Amino acid sequence: MGAEPLLHAAVINNARWCDAVCRSHGYPGEFTDRIWISVGHALPFYPNAITLAPDVTAAEATNGQDPSRPYSVKDSFARVELASRGLTPLFDASWIALPVPPDGDDPSWDTVVTPGELARWEIAWAGGGTVTGLFRPTLLADPRCAILACLQDGALVGGATAYTSNGVTGILNVFKSGIADGPLWAGVVRAVAALRPGLPIVGYESGEDLAAARQAGFTVLGPLRVWARGSAVP
């Protein structure tokens, strides 16, 4: 799979994951060939719209929004200007891909399978922040989804989510607590490759996390930008 098809697959995969999370809270989104939208939800860290084509307009990205409520858009190609719609750039990031993941497994990584394990995972993921039950147990029943945890001496020291669709596995929510970036990303890659063998791994990162992903072998596919109004923080 070349860079352009990988980028397209990464964008759609991310939208599918966001839809799965929103759907688990009772807010399924709507897909067209150009955009995914779930206007009604106010979940933290998840957008209300994701552009699926580079020429999506500002009107399309904000269609149906209530200007009095928080609203956010993930512009998957960093091309839409949304300031005129009352939104502010929140952050920039880069789509990444590992087209041919290495073989091998990491025995310290495992898949979360019970609601209790998921609750523990979210506490670690939140890193001392507010735990709201963002990740619902229904995700554990989705065969495309895997919640991954790294355990060392009984302590949960790292984790990630993995979602498979469109011929790739997307990783998100990569976090660490007591583990260095190098072992974290190497472990995530091995765990996902063992779980979904033969599939490219995609995602998006910024800053130090992007540097760590590139050190682990990921290449950059292209930019994205997140816009938000109010307390919406995808």
Sketch the domain layout of the chain as residue ranges.
Answer: 3-96+223-229, 98-219
Check pLDDT > 60 for residue 234: no
What average pLDDT does this structure show over 143-147?
97
What average pLDDT does this structure show over 194-223?
96
User: Counting runs of H as helices and runs of E as strands, what totals does the chain give?
Assistant: 5, 11
**pLDDT for the residue 232:** 46
Is the domain defined by 98-219 classed in CATH 1.10.3720.10? Answer: no
What average pLDDT does this structure show over 152-179?
95
What average pLDDT does this structure show over 6-17?
98
Q: What percent of the chain has pLDDT over 90?
A: 83
Q: DSSP strand E in the chain: where?
A: 30-31, 35-37, 49-51, 71-75, 88-98, 109-111, 145-152, 155-165, 168-176, 201-205, 219-229
Position 190, amino acid: R
**pLDDT for the residue 171:** 98
Neighbour order of strands in the sheet with 168-176: 30-31, 35-37, 49-51, 71-75, 219-229, 88-98, 201-205, 168-176, 155-165, 145-152, 109-111
Q: Which two tokens stand for residue 49?
A: 């719209």
Measured CA to CA, the distance from residue 85 to residue 59 in angstroms comes to 8
Looking at mean pLDDT, say which of 38-42, 56-60, 64-68 comes out highest: 56-60
Q: How confident is the model at residue 231 (pLDDT cuts 50, 70, 90)?
A: low
Q: How confident is the model at residue 68 (pLDDT cuts 50, 70, 90)?
A: confident
